[in-house]
C-alpha cells in the first residue's frame, strides 16, 4: 500500500475449504491457510495501468508467491514463485 500510494482492494483473503473448492481454488491453497490475498487497484479509467503497476510492485516486494491475472494479483506467504493465470 505504501509503495502503491493508493488504496488496494482485496478480492479474496481467507477461504474456507468448502468455498475454496467451490471457486476452483488449488487443493493446498494458501487462502485456506489464511496466508494469501487476491488484490487489485480501484476500478476506474486507469485500472489497467494501475494493475500493471501493482504487478510490478508485488513482484519486487513479495518474497512468497505472486500470480498475475487479468484483473487482480495473487500474493501469498508460500515459497517464492511467480506465475501467470
What residue spans define the domains of the chain? 9-84
d(CA 78, CA 6): 25
pLDDT category, 77, cuts 50, 70, 90?
A: very high
C-beta separation of 43 from 15 below 8 A: no
pLDDT category, 3, cuts 50, 70, 90?
A: very high
Q: Is the pTM of this model over 0.75?
A: yes
Q: Which fold has domain 9-84?
A: Muramoyl-pentapeptide Carboxypeptidase; domain 2 (3.30.1380)
Q: How high is the pLDDT of residue 54?
A: 97
pLDDT category, 68, cuts 50, 70, 90?
A: very high
pLDDT category, 49, cuts 50, 70, 90?
A: very high
Q: How many residues are recorded in the chain?
A: 85
Cell of 39: 488484490
Amino acid at each position: 500500500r505504501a509503495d502503491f500510494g493508493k488504496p488496494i482492494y482485496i478480492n479474496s483473503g481467507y477461504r474456507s475449504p468448502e468455498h475454496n473448492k467451490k471457486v476452483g481454488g488449488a487443493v493446498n491453497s494458501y487462502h485456506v491457510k489464511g496466508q494469501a490475498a487476491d488484490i487489485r487497484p480501484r476500478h476506474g479509467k486507469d485500472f489497467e495501468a494501475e494493475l500493471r503497476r501493482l504487478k510490478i510492485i508485488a513482484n519486487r516486494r513479495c518474497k512468497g508467491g505472486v500470480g498475475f491475472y487479468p484483473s487482480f494479483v495473487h500474493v501469498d506467504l508460500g515459497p517464492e514463485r511467480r506465475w501467470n493465470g
